[in-house]
Structures are given as structure tokens and as C-alpha cells.
Structure 1
Amino acid sequence: MSRVLSLLLVPPVHRAVQQRYRAYRRAGTPAFTAGLTTLMVAIGWLLLRFESPSWQKVQAGQSYWFPHISPHRPRPADTLRYLLQGFWLLVTHSGPAPMGRSYFAGWHRLQLRYANWLQSLPQRLQGAGMEEQTVQRLNRMNHRVRRVLFIIAGLLAGLLALLCISQPFELPAQFIFVLLLWCIAMVVRRIPGRLPSLMLIVLSLTVSCRYLWWRYTSTLNWDDPLSLTCGLLLLAAETYAWVVLVLGYFQTVWPLNRQPVPMPVDSSTWPTVDLMVPTYNEDLGVVKPTIYAALGIDWPKDKINIYILDDGNRPEFKAFAAEVGVKYIARPTHEHAKAGNINHALKHASGDFVAIFDCDHVPTRSFLQLTMGWFFKDKKLAMLQTPHHFFSPDPFERNLGRFRQTPNEGTLFYGLVQDGNDMWDATFFCGSCAILRRTALDEIGGIAVETVTEDAHTSLRLHRLGHTSAYIRIPQAAGLATESLSAHIGQRIRWARGMVQIFRLDNPLLGKGLKFAQRLCYANAMLHFLSGIPRLIFLTAPLAFLLMHAYIIFAPALAIALYVLPHMIHASLTNSRIQGKYRHSFWSEIYETVLAWYIARPTTVALFNPHKGKFNVTAKGGLVTQEHVDWVITRPYLLLVILNLAGLGFGVWRFFYGPADEMMTVVISLIWVIYNMTILGGAVAVAVEARQVRQSHRVEIAMPAAVARADGHLFPCTLRDYSDGGVGIEMRVPDQLQEHDQIALLLKRGQQEFSFPCVVTRSMAARWGSAWSNSRPANISTLFNAPLLGRIPGHCGKTDSRKTGRWTACGTY
């Protein structure tokens, strides 16, 4: 590479570049990062004249203005960090000026006053109670007056929005406009409450709609067929993303956060519940914990019937059902998969309500006590859903080492989206951890069988008939996540195909029975699974310019920056405010990128042939004996990485040898390619399957207990983890146990005491691992399943979720 540069550059410049590159490498910078940073410095030197006095002043204060960025050992994203920190310094930075820098003293005083004003703003607004007072005034208004007020406000807002969206600006005016909106957003995002979130949504929609208007009216090259084709494809993908963005804002704008309703004191009025656990090909070891936990549910024993619905017709399941005293149903035929299995069981059950759990979802004792109260309060309530919670890591968490560190893929849906749906009476039935009113279920003919996502289709039918739904955001069961990336993708393919099938066969935008808000919530859920092709377009769009010289956005580079960046920044700020603790933007990109290739084809096929495709059962409880790369899964993403690498190479060549007026466009395309390669790198990394050799997953808990040695000595201890194979014990006094010691684990629940024989299998200072002496005790689930969900030590506090009503899906299990 050095020889090539020596031919391209004059000797002084070549020496300077070489010296800088070698200095970075001596500091321990990887070769790619050192080369990229050297290139960016060279570009900056060409465009910004770093040798000028103004830049020399900035460089002299580099350690003060950018303390988190090392000039000697750069990182790949330092260019972006410099840009973001620069913007941040202009608006919000405060602090004492460095010694001898009186030049900036006045500016620092102004910044300090502004920062103090920003910091005090939330407290002042909270103290004034503006949001509460506004809501109270609206509630006191006459219904008709409030409706007329909303209509007038909507018309005025619509006219103002139309003006803001469609008014053409010169580039300086556009810069001032987006800078003003950005400053407002940076102030508003500091204010707590939901009304500021609404304002952020308004700002984001204003900028995004203005961007889309500009794209449709000013950025298509009608004179070049190739540029026009590529540009229209990108514009279609952007339009899809904009529609999903708007519907997503609507869906999550005001989460309901429904709380449980107490049950009547007289338990004789409580209804009969049929608790059904469908199974097909899962091991008995996967199903047993669920059945044991169901037997421990806090409900009158004469008012609950537990069923194993065995679609595999296995004798050992029938024998197990007889052993523990639950009912066993196996059907002679197996049409319609899980939906058909449940519908067959409904013919043999007569309870007032039906609770459904997947065979790996272990319910808590409080499930019925927490959910049934709403059915007494709302006689039209047909279905109540609780979250799906997993105590094992999914492939993303396990393969990337992010378990308990970032929200998992399902946290956004069960933490925010379902709660938002509940506001609009559009909660989706998710196939498990839910309870349905039997009369409403019979009214629609049982579980829907026309699509492979029978759960969502069932809730759609219930809503069409005017029944209501509810969602309580308190986990009441914990299950197994998919063990491999291929199984995870297969599950998502089924979901994607099924939702598009519903869109074609029972379109929520058409037909009778649904409210407008319900139609939008269902439409957004179905459109979400059509993201495969748009995502692939975004991953390859810059290559159209770099490899084929097609202008996908036919506009000056500065105009692209002034329209694209505000659109992306405002969407990111708003989603961060709304989704912050449920979904991180970077990981969201990786989740959707991994699925994009695999859901693109089945969703497209389902659009044109909705009856094609069959139900596939998601494998649970499997093992990954050796770390390996799933080359079959990662093949399409390796191809995309190679294509983007080619685009990167061509882009660098065009930067040095292409037309001068295309230089900034090339730079923007290169930044886009580097971003895409970062996301694709994460997608490829997910395909490296980490080992998973546990037959039963370990769950972290914190439960007081005692240990009895064979010699009769008792020692207090704390249980730190639990699995079907044994428990982890922590004792205050070390060296009290030895490996292979026979002990009794003493636990207490209320006034009941339990003793479980164990054998010590390993010793680690004050912690010991032990295994059950014989097999897993049958009644152990009644002790552990509530702590698994209600108490989350070390991660979400030690609070009983049944008392607080607080979302606890932080990846604790």
C-alpha cells in the first residue's frame, strides 16, 4: 500500500501520511482504523485547511473540548464523535474555561447560564403541574366542546404542518429551519412527562414529512433510466419506513399501563378455568416444569382443570399426566397444528375461561389472581394477555454476549407496543400466557385456523365482534428462548408469513367491526413484517452510485445532508425518548438486518399466494455442543459484506480520481457504506453459534434458606441460582461444606417448610454447587416460579412485581 501511495502522492505528502499512519499503529490502533483515520485527516486537511490559525486554536484545546477522544489512538467512529460533540458543544456544553483561555470566557458564561436554565426546566415544569392541569381542564370540558376544540386544533395544526412541509427553502434557510427544530427538540427531550413526548413526535413528523416531500418533488433524475429506477426503489423503501414510523408513533404515543384489579373476596363466585398446555414434539423434561408450576397456581382446586394437549400421542406423556393428576388429551388427526389441537380440546372442556401456555412457559402462582379481576370488572372483555418472558438467552444475546446487558428482541413488543395497543383496545393475543373468555371464543368458532399465526388472527376476530381486550405488563410466566439462530429465524419467518396472510385474507383496514385506531394498530403489526425488502434496499443503495454511477438522490451533497440528517436525528431522538429502555437503536438495526433476507421471500409469496405455507414448530430445549459458524445462515450477509467492500474500494478510488464536483457525494456514500458494513458485521457475528450445553438453564435468584449437614449442623445460606439439575448456595461462613457431602436444603413458604436432599458437587470459596440427590423434586416449582418473576435480584431490584405492577423485562433470567 505504501508503494502505491508513493506513486500517487508527492514525497512530502507521502511522508506525512506515512508518519501519521505509523504513529497510530505504534499506539496500538488496528490497521483498518489507522488507515481510515489517516484518510479522514487527509480529506479534512484538503477541505478545511487544518493549518489555519482558527483550526490551530481548536487543536490546541482538543483535550478540553473532546476529552473522550484520543488523538493518538483513534477509534473507527471518532469522526462521527467529533461531529456530534461539536454540535453538542455549540448548544449544551458548560463548565469552567481552561486556564489562560479568556477568549472563550464570555461564551462559557452564556453556556453556563443556558445549561443551568435547561437543568432547572424539568423541576420548574413539574412543580407547575402543567401536564396534569391540562389533562384536568380537558376532562372537565363538555364532550362536544372538547371534540370541537380538538377538530379546530387539528385543522390549524394540519394547515401549519402543510405549510412547514411543503414550503421550499434555499439551503441557508433550510439550515436555519432544521437547526431551530433541533434546538427545540434538545430542550423538550429534557422535560419529563408524555406531553413533551408528543411534541417530539410533532417535530419528528414535521422534519420527516418535509424530507419525504423534498424527495418526491426534487430528487429524481428523470433523464437517466438507471438513476430513475434505483432512485424510485430507494424512495419506495423510504416511504415504507416513513409509514411504519408514523404508525409506530401512533401505536406507542400513550401506553395505558393497566394495573390488576382485585378479585372478589368470596371465592365461591370465582369462575372455572381450563388451563391448557399444547405440545407436539418437545421433550417431557421441557413440559414437566410447566405442569408442576400449573399445579401450584393459587386458585381453588375444584375450579381449575389442567390439560396436556399432546399432538404427538406419546405414551410417556399420558403416563406423566396420570401420575401428577392432570388431564390428557390426544387427538386422532393433526390438522391445523396448534390451533387445531386447542380447538379439539375445547370440545372436551367446559370451563368458563381458557388459559393457554406454551409447554415451555412456566406460570407463576399469581397468574389467575392477577388477571381474572378484569373479567369481573369488564363483562365484554374477551382476552387478557401478559408478557412472554424468557429465562434463557436468545441467539442474539448468547452469540453476541449481550445477555442481561441490552434489551432483547421481544422487550420492545411486550414492554411498550402491547401497552400502547391496550390504549386503543387493540391488544394482540400472542398464543401463550393469556386467558380468554370461553363464550367469546365459542362465538368466533374457536382459535382461528386460516393462517399460521392463529393467535393474532383470533384476537382480530374477537375485536371485529366488539369484544374488548386487555394487557397487563407484569410477567407471569417464564419460558425458553430459541436455542439457535436458525430456529429463531424459522420462528420469525412463520410470524412474518402469518401476519401477511392475515393482511390478505382478513385485512384489518377493510371489513366491519374495528375502530379506526384498532385498524391502524393491526396494520402496523402486519406492515412491520414487510421490512425485509426495504432493509435490503437500504443495505445496497449507496452501491448504485459507487459501482454504477446511478444518482439515487439527484441533489447536491449539502442539500442531502440538510434534509437526510435532520430526518434521521429527529427520528432517533424521538424513538430514544419513547423506546429508550425497551430497545436500543444499534441493536435494533442488527435484529432487523439478520431477519431481512429470510422474511423477504415468504412475505412476498404470502402477498400473492396467502394460502401457501405451513405451520412450523419452534424447537425448544436443544443443545449447541460446539461453537461454530452457521455458514448457511450467514451466506447472504457475507455476500452483502463483499458487495459493500467493493463499493468502499471503488468509492476511495473515485474520491481521488473522480470528478471534483462529486467528491462530497462520494464521501456521503462512503459513510453510508461504512455504516452498513458495521451493521452487517454484527449480523455475521450473530451467526457464530456459542456453546450451550446445559440440559436445564440456570436462573439467578436470591432466596433465604438453610443447609442441614449429615451431622445435624444447620447453617443459614442464600440460594443464588436454580435449575432443574440443582441449586447454587452462598454461605457467610466458608469451608463448612465439602464436595460429595450429603445435605438437606431447607426452604420455607409461609408456614410450610420443605426439605430437599442434595449432594455438593463443587466448592468455590463461600459458594457451593449442589445437585438433587435423586431427580428434580416435583414440588420445587411451587417454591421457585414466583421468585423467578416477582423478585429480580441485582438487576431490577427485589420488588414483588404483583405489588408494584412494574415492567421487569430487563433480561434477568
Structure 2
Amino acid sequence: MSMLLRFFLMPPVSWRLRRRYLGYRGQGASRSASWLMSAMVILCWMFLRLESASWRRVRYRRRLWFPHISPERPRLMDGLRYLLQGIWLMVVMSGRRREKWLTPPAFIIRGRRYYYQWLHMLPRRLSNAGLGQETVQRLGHLNRGLRRVMLYSLSLVAAVTTLFCISQPFSLWAQFVFVLLLWCIAMVVRRIPGRLPALMLIILSLTISCRYMWWRYTSTLNWDDPVSLACGLLLLMAETYSCLVLVLGYFQTIWPLHRKPVAMPPDVASWPTVDILIPTFNEDLAVVKPTLYAALGIDWPHKKLAIYLLDDGNRPEFKAFAAEIGIHYIAPPPHKYAKAGNVNYALARSRGEFVAIFDCDHVPTRSFLQVSLGWFFKDRQLGMLQTPHHFFSPDPFERNLGRFRRAPNEGSLFYGLVQDGNDLWDAAFFCGSCAVMRRSALEEIGGLAVETVTEDAHTSLRLHRHGYSSAYIRIPQAAGLATESLSAHIRQRIRWARGMVQIFRLDNPLLGKGLKLPQRLCYANAMLHFLSGVPRLIFLTAPLAFLLLHAYIIFAPAIAILLYVLPHMVHASLTNSRVQGKYRYSFWSEIYETVLAWHIAMPSTMALLNPHSGKFNVTAKGGLIEKPYIDWALTRPYRILMFLNLCGFIAGLFRLGYGDVNEIMTVFISLAWTLYNMMILGGAIAVAFEARQLRQAHRVEIDMPAALMVGDGHIYTCTLHDYSDSGVGVQLSYAEDIAVGDRVTLFLRRGQQEYTFPCDITRVYHDRLGMKLGPLSTRQHVEFIQCTFARADTWALWQDGFPEDKPIHSLRDVIALGFSGYQQMAEYAPPFFRRLFFGLTAVVTWFISLMPRGVAAAPAAHLNDETAS
């Protein structure tokens, strides 16, 4: 030790050590970390051949291999970070170019290469091994009765085999082998493109989940302890509900139809008359104007189109505006039955063969009628055709979490996949807006349903009961405003939950005449979905039964719980990731459902007991949030649940040290469950931190060629960067002659036509200009909306721009979101709790900093300026 100390004190070494130490301190590193890193560098130069070519490449690419370690500002334990990252790189690193020290053994490389080649060829081999075209043709010529017998026989064999797999009791070792085999099959199948592999994943998931439920019902209830039995039955009912919804969800989305538009007849004289109904109640006129302007510009024969503004608020300014732009104005006197009564009143005073309904904030594209009405000529029994609800403003989840246009929103799953899956079973239902209905069908069922607060779904249910079909085209043909706050979003979902449960009680789709079995199942699943509040609350508190009450909610050995529960969860996650990956990322459903669970649990339960309770409420749109705040009233139930889970976690830690040794594994499982619940609750709290929303007219990003003409007649080419109904933003390379306050003329092109709009410059920032639209005539307003919001291709690619789901990445994002929720909440806590939380945060952050990081494949030649001398 004394010799090593004397070496460090030698003049050349001590001088370099001091220089390095001062350099670290100058970058803000602590004294201990600076001294330790300086000494570690000297030791590395003493005992490692850092001057060799291999080590030189590692030193030059240090930022690439160790992205989470700063070479200029070291921290304590950086030595351990280097060690862990180096081990991780040697074990799992894969890339086209490798350093010698990162290269795994040759047999691993060959095995990986053969494995990926086999996966690449597997789809072709499966298709070659299947029934050939001649065999299919021979089967097609068989007697229909014989083919039916063959189908029933194969189905019976499959059912018996599945029942055997589900109900056969296995030893723990046999269960492990079984789930391992199915997991290996799933990991192979999920890499194969196409719809059939997705069906295979569904079959594997159903097999595992049904086996799990069989085990739960037959082997996991403690009948000798009343507390354990009561808690176990509650959890079992919640799991039964979740499994039922999972099965029905697979059924709904097993094969999305992807219906394409049908061209209209070439003879325009044969096109039908259409009434466009736009109901409004308490919205601002600024919110309604873009929708009316867009309706005026819809591509349809002018004499066959009538536009009606249905003002349930009976406001003079709305009546005056309708007269100004030349549309019909209807104000129902009784103000009864909310939106449904408003529309029904207008139906009695209009005469179009078809009726298109838009919420007052949904701006239709000019192609809406031509895209949707073609199917009514092809299918004379078609009563309703629905298109997606698309939103150009962020909903509370997207705005408060900063995920707008970075990931699918809450409604993407329904409008992107579920409705498309319903369409296969002729069960697509009316969603209140962006839809066309045949007037004769509406009159036959007595107009929109008024018995429940979800008149839309109830109306389509009645259409199906009367023998009419429905259709869904998954091409956005209108866009509107999302709810502006989490409280408004929750109120909207409460109304939906209450209304769907009311339909379940008053007009149960599983009972009565007129529906086919698939339609009954699709409607039932849509209504059962809104009963998720109570099961979700049970899942958020279930581990506390064991940790606080010592109740065995799953009366089985810990290893058996792992062998049955984990495969059920993993297969469901893998399958949903494959089926829903473009429309909802893994684990985000946990956040959405947790945010709503407490608030919809009571209304949905009360509607189940008393279906006539509740009233219609209008969803507020177009509001402003001038400064960020947290909605403490909404987070109160989450904070209570969080506190209970924290108490359970502390009790679990105590039992690890002082509890029964035989229960250690069960305690670990319960602690992991509690930690997961706490992360989900943290994410629910993070959503309640309302971000600012200062624009009432939301800007829509776009990349479209445009031009500007300044006062002297000079024209600049530019790119339209964003727009709203009151202004635009452009980008141009040369703007020295343009200043704030200048009046310019904006040129926009639609098809082969060019339109001009007066604008005032309000902001100049480098190559970006912000402009406010000048006074426009009604014709110019219509033309501007047609060039922007109402373009036929404006919204078509929004949904397709999201990457595929990666479950591990999604889990990491959800955990980070939960952690951020606690951080934000701590900022508002009393000083003692704030210091305590930030201390715990520092510990967790330190622990996370030790974790290895993923790196990109090494580039062919990448040298940074850093030298490790």
C-alpha cells in the first residue's frame, strides 16, 4: 500500500493526477468522485495495455459503448457502471461490426444466423406445405353436406383437444414444460407476417388463459378461511370478467374487414338528396363556424344538398350566422331528449333521402359523401355507415403526457381496429357523428333512440334488430376537437358508461329478436367494457389482502402461481401487441382504465341497478387552460389507493424479515404486484397534471407548398408549416424584407385551382412566419377550409404513421410515467414529505443509473475527439 502511495506521489504522476482531478472538478464533479476516477484511470494505465490497438478503439468509442457515463463529469460508482455495461455488452451485444472483445463465440453467431434464416423462410415453407390450389378446388367440388360434416368433425376434434389441454391436471414440472413449449411457439409465430400467425397467437393465448381460469376455479380457493374465501372470490370474479372481455375482444378483432369505398354511379342525376345535420347546444360560434364552412364546400350537387344548423340553445347570433351563409336554422322549442331530441325534431322538418350527422366541432372533408354513399347503392339494406372520429387537437392524455402524434391515442383502438372488426360481423354501430343514415330506416325505428344517454349505439342496435345492416370505412373523413381537460374527458366517459349499461338493461343485445349471434356478442362486449371500473379497483387492491390481512386470495404454492399467472399475462400481452400494436401500445390500457376506474364504477353500477337514472351532458370543446395545475379532486381516489399500496409494501418488507419463511416467495410476488400497481397509479396522477392550452384555435401541422406575395408584388415560394381556422405558419428561406405588421397575400392550391387569402404578419422568427388571416368573405372562408381542414387526404395518414408496438419499450415508458407522477406530486407536498420523496427518488435514480444501456451497432469509422490518456 505504501509503495502504491509513493507511486501516486511521484512528480510526473502526481502532476497528471492533479490536472485530471481539477478538470473533473471544473465540470462539477464531486471531490470524492473526481479523486476516485483519477486514481482509477492511473490504475488502468498501470495494469491494462490501453495503448494497444483494440483498447484504443474502445477508448475512442467510449461514448458509443457507454452512453450513460460522462467522461468529463464522473460520478461515484462509475467503475461499477463500466464493469456492468462491459459485461452486458459482451453477453447480449449484436451488431454488424464488433470489437474483438465484444464478439461472442462462433457457435452462437452461427446459431443466431441459422435461426433468423429459418424464420425468414418459415412463411414460404408453411404456404408450400399447405393445401395446394388443386386440393382446394377438389374440396370445393365435394357435396355441401359432406363438407359440413368434415368441418363439424374437425371442429369437434379441435374442441376436444382444447378441452383436454385446458382441464388436464399437470404436475408443476409438466406445467412448466407445457407453458415453455407454448411460449417458444408464440415467440416463433409472432415474427411471421400475416393474419394467420395472429390467429395462432390468439389460439395459444386462449388455451393458456382458459387453463388458468380452470385452475383458478378448481384449485385456488381457501374454503376453510372466510376472509381468504371472500377476498379470493372477489379477485376471481374480476379475473372472470377480464377473461370474458379478453375472449370477446379477440372475437371482435379476429379479422378486420378493411372495407373500401364504392364509387358513386357515373350518372349524377341518380345521386340521392342528402341532409347534413349539425346539432349544437352551448358551444361557441367560433367552434361551429369551420364545420359549417366545410359542409358548404362538400363535393355534392348543390340542389341535392341541404345543411341544417340545429341550435338547441336557441341563440340569435347562430340564427343570424346561418342566414348570412345561406343554410337552414332549426331551434327545437321543448329542449327535450338533448341531442337525440334535437335531431328528431329536425328529421320531421327535412326531406333528404339520406341524413349525415356531424358534431358541431367535426369538420368534414369535401369527399365525405362520395366516399360513404356508394355503399348504399350496393347494399339496399344498409341503414348506417360510420367513419372514424378523428381529432386534430390533443386529448388530455396526449397533452398532459406530451405524447401527441408520438403514439396512438385512447380512441385509436376503437376507431382503428374494433369498429373494423365489428364490420366483419355486421355489428359496426353509430357513434353520434361522422355517419350517414338512410332516412327510411330511421323513420322505421322512430328516429334516434331517446331512452338512454347514448342515443347513438342504441339507435344502431335498433337498426340491426329491424334487419338493416351497417358498415364502417376506416378512412378519416372528418376531424374535430378532443376534450380540453381531464375532468371533461372523464365526464364524457361517465356518460358513455352509464348509457351503455342502460342499453344492457333496457334493450339487452343478448336477448330479444332480430340480431345474429356475432352481433349480440359484439354489442355485449361494447357494453361490458364500461363495467371495468370495479374489476380494475379490485386488481389495484388485491395484493393488500395478503400483505395486510394475511388472506390467501390465490390458495396455491408460490411456484404454481408463477407457472399459471405469468404465462396467462405474457401470452395475452404478446397477442394484444401483435393484434393491436398499431392502435394501442402495451400496458397503456392500464393507465387509461385506471384513470377512469373510480369515476365510472359508481355510475355504471347504479345504471345496472336503476337504468333510468342519469341525464345527458354535453362535452365541452374549445376551452383554454391558461396555466398548468393539478386536479386534486380527480386524484383523491388515486392517492388513497397509492397510500394503501404503500402500506402494503411496507408490511411486505416487514414480513420478509420477520414473517414465515415458507411465505417468502409469496411475499415477493405480492410486493412485485404492489410495485406495479403503484407505478400505474403514479401514471394516473401524472395525467391529472393539466398542461397549458393557450390556443382556442388549434394548429394542425402540415407540409404543403404555398406562396406569399408582399406589398410590392414580389412573390416568395414557401411551405405551409401549420394552420388553424384563424391563422397559418409558413417557412421560407428568404424573409429579410418581411416584418411584423405587413399585409401579405397567401396563395394555396387545391387540385388545379389556386386561391388567395389576405394575411397579416404577426411573428417573424428566423425562417418561420406566423400570420393571422385578414377579413374573409364567406366564399373565402369556405375556400380556406377546403384548402386545409377539408382536404380529402389531410387525415388519411395520421394513424398509419405510428411505429409497431414494442412491449418492453412500452413497459419502460409506463414505469417512467408512473415515476414522473410521483415527482410532480412531490412538488406540491409539504416540505418534510418533499424531502423524503426526493431522497427516495435519488436512491431509485442512482440504482437505475447502474443499469446497462442499449447501444447502436458500431459504425464503420467513428472516432470522437476524446483521448483516454
**2:790 paired with 1:786:** yes
Unaligned runs of 5+ in 1: 1-25, 29-62, 799-813
Give the Cα–Cα distance (whole angstroms) in 2 for the partners of residues 597 and 707 of structure 1: 53
Q: Secondary structure of the equivalent of 2:625?
A: coil
Q: CA deviation at 1:113?
A: 2.3
Q: CA deviation at 1:93?
A: 8.7
- Amino acid in the other structure paired with 2:781: A
Distance 1:380 1:246, change over 3 A: same
**2:748 paired with 1:747:** yes
| Aligned residue number for residue 242 of structure 2 | 241
Distance 1:134 1:739, change over 3 A: farther
Give the Cα–Cα distance (whole angstroms) in 1 for the partners of residues 792 and 375 of structure 2: 24
C-alpha RMSD over aligned residues: 3.0
Q: Secondary structure of the equivalent of 1:652?
A: helix
Give the Cα–Cα distance (whole angstroms) in 2 for the partners of residues 129 and 528 of structure 1: 38
- 1:602-654 per-position Cα deviation (integer Å, ceiling 9, x unaligned): 11001110001100111111111110000011110011111111111111111
| Aligned residue number for residue 371 of structure 1 | 372
Give the Cα–Cα distance (whole angstroms) in 1 for the partners of residues 685 and 134 of structure 2: 51
| Aligned residue number for residue 161 of structure 2 | 160
Q: CA deviation at 1:146?
A: 3.9
Q: Is the 8 A contact 1:122 1:190 kept in 2?
A: no
Q: How does 1:103-502 map to 2 (within 5 A)?
A: 105-106=106-107, 108-122=109-123, 124-125=125-126, 143-502=144-503
- Amino acid in the other structure paired with 2:245: V
Q: CA deviation at 1:717?
A: 1.2
Distance 1:212 1:99, change over 3 A: same
Q: Is the 8 A contact 2:386 2:434 kept in 1?
A: yes
Give the Cα–Cα distance (whole angstroms) in 1 for the partners of residues 651 and 720 of structure 2: 59
**2:621 paired with 1:617:** no
Distance 1:99 1:747, change over 3 A: closer
Q: CA deviation at 1:733?
A: 2.7
- 1:241-282 per-position Cα deviation (integer Å, ceiling 9, x unaligned): 000000000000000000000000110000000000000010
Q: CA deviation at 1:668?
A: 0.5
Give the Cα–Cα distance (whole angstroms) in 1 for the partners of residues 132 and 287 of structure 2: 49
Q: CA deviation at 1:167?
A: 0.6
Q: CA deviation at 1:112?
A: 3.6
Number of corresponding residues:
728
Distance 1:707 1:226, change over 3 A: same
Q: CA deviation at 1:68?
A: 10
Q: CA deviation at 1:759?
A: 1.0
| Aligned residue number for residue 862 of structure 2 | none
Distance 1:94 1:553, change over 3 A: farther
- Amino acid in the other structure paired with 1:502: I
Q: CA deviation at 1:567?
A: 0.3
Distance 1:289 1:112, change over 3 A: same
Instruction: Give % identity.
Output: 66
Give the Cα–Cα distance (whole angstroms) in 1 for the partners of residues 691 and 733 of structure 2: 34
Q: Is the 8 A contact 1:131 1:195 kept in 2?
A: no
Q: How does 1:517-666 map to 2 (within 5 A)?
A: 517-666=518-667
- Amino acid in the other structure paired with 1:510: L
Distance 1:131 1:675, change over 3 A: farther
| Aligned residue number for residue 823 of structure 2 | none
Give the Cα–Cα distance (whole angstroms) in 2 for the partners of residues 710 and 103 of structure 1: 68
Q: Secondary structure of the equivalent of 2:747?
A: strand
| Aligned residue number for residue 708 of structure 1 | 709
Q: Which is greater in Rg?
A: 2
Q: Secondary structure of the equivalent of 1:585?
A: coil
- Amino acid in the other structure paired with 1:224: D
Moved more, 343-352 or 778-787: 778-787
Distance 1:144 1:418, change over 3 A: farther
Unaligned runs of 5+ in 2: 1-27, 31-61, 70-74, 803-869
Q: Is the 8 A contact 2:536 2:597 kept in 1?
A: yes
Q: CA deviation at 1:105?
A: 4.8
Q: Is the 8 A contact 1:701 1:793 kept in 2?
A: no
Q: CA deviation at 1:752?
A: 3.3
| Aligned residue number for residue 671 of structure 1 | 672
- Amino acid in the other structure paired with 1:665: T
| Aligned residue number for residue 41 of structure 2 | none
Q: CA deviation at 1:106?
A: 4.1
Q: Is the 8 A contact 1:729 1:769 kept in 2?
A: yes
Q: Is the 8 A contact 1:726 1:770 kept in 2?
A: yes
- Amino acid in the other structure paired with 1:781: I
| Aligned residue number for residue 689 of structure 2 | 688
Distance 1:384 1:579, change over 3 A: same
Give the Cα–Cα distance (whole angstroms) in 1 for the partners of residues 692 and 386 of structure 2: 33
Structure with larger RCO (C-alpha < 8 A, sep 6+): 2
- 1:198-240 per-position Cα deviation (integer Å, ceiling 9, x unaligned): 1111100000010001111111111111011000000000000
Distance 1:550 1:352, change over 3 A: same
Distance 1:287 1:102, change over 3 A: closer
Q: Is the 8 A contact 2:477 2:795 kept in 1?
A: no
Give the Cα–Cα distance (whole angstroms) in 2 for the partners of residues 375 and 513 of structure 1: 21
- 1:152-204 per-position Cα deviation (integer Å, ceiling 9, x unaligned): 12111110011000111111110000000000111111111111111111100
Q: Is the 8 A contact 2:367 2:792 kept in 1?
A: no
Distance 1:590 1:697, change over 3 A: same
Q: CA deviation at 1:375?
A: 0.3
- 1:457-476 per-position Cα deviation (integer Å, ceiling 9, x unaligned): 00000001111100000000
Give the Cα–Cα distance (whole angstroms) in 2 for the partners of residues 97 and 713 of structure 1: 57
- Amino acid in the other structure paired with 1:219: T
Moved more, 552-561 or 115-124: 115-124
Q: Is the 8 A contact 2:475 2:796 kept in 1?
A: no
Q: CA deviation at 1:149?
A: 2.8
Q: CA deviation at 1:374?
A: 0.3
- Amino acid in the other structure paired with 2:343: I
Q: Secondary structure of the equivalent of 1:278?
A: strand
Q: Secondary structure of the equivalent of 2:119?
A: helix
Q: Secondary structure of the equivalent of 2:722?
A: strand
Distance 1:427 1:140, change over 3 A: farther
- Amino acid in the other structure paired with 2:287: V
| Aligned residue number for residue 5 of structure 1 | none
Q: Is the 8 A contact 2:476 2:795 kept in 1?
A: no
Give the Cα–Cα distance (whole angstroms) in 1 for the partners of residues 471 and 800 of structure 2: 25
Q: Is the 8 A contact 2:259 2:473 kept in 1?
A: yes
Q: Secondary structure of the equivalent of 1:147?
A: helix
Q: How does 1:61-140 map to 2 (within 5 A)?
A: 105-106=106-107, 108-122=109-123, 124-125=125-126
Q: CA deviation at 1:577?
A: 0.7
Q: CA deviation at 1:737?
A: 1.8
- 1:664-711 per-position Cα deviation (integer Å, ceiling 9, x unaligned): 101111110111111111100000011111120001122222111001
Q: Secondary structure of the equivalent of 1:466?
A: coil
Q: Secondary structure of the equivalent of 1:761?
A: strand
- Amino acid in the other structure paired with 2:111: L
Q: CA deviation at 1:783?
A: 1.7
Distance 1:706 1:141, change over 3 A: farther
Q: CA deviation at 1:657?
A: 1.4
Q: Secondary structure of the equivalent of 1:379?
A: coil
Give the Cα–Cα distance (whole angstroms) in 1 for the partners of residues 386 and 751 of structure 2: 29
Q: Is the 8 A contact 2:758 2:773 kept in 1?
A: yes
Give the Cα–Cα distance (whole angstroms) in 2 for the partners of residues 136 and 716 of structure 1: 60
| Aligned residue number for residue 42 of structure 2 | none
Distance 1:126 1:731, change over 3 A: farther
Give the Cα–Cα distance (whole angstroms) in 1 for the partners of residues 146 and 623 of structure 2: 60
Give the Cα–Cα distance (whole angstroms) in 1 for the partners of residues 94 and 749 of structure 2: 55
Distance 1:330 1:248, change over 3 A: same
Give the Cα–Cα distance (whole angstroms) in 2 for the partners of residues 566 and 508 of structure 1: 33
Distance 1:239 1:139, change over 3 A: farther
Q: Secondary structure of the equivalent of 1:613?
A: coil
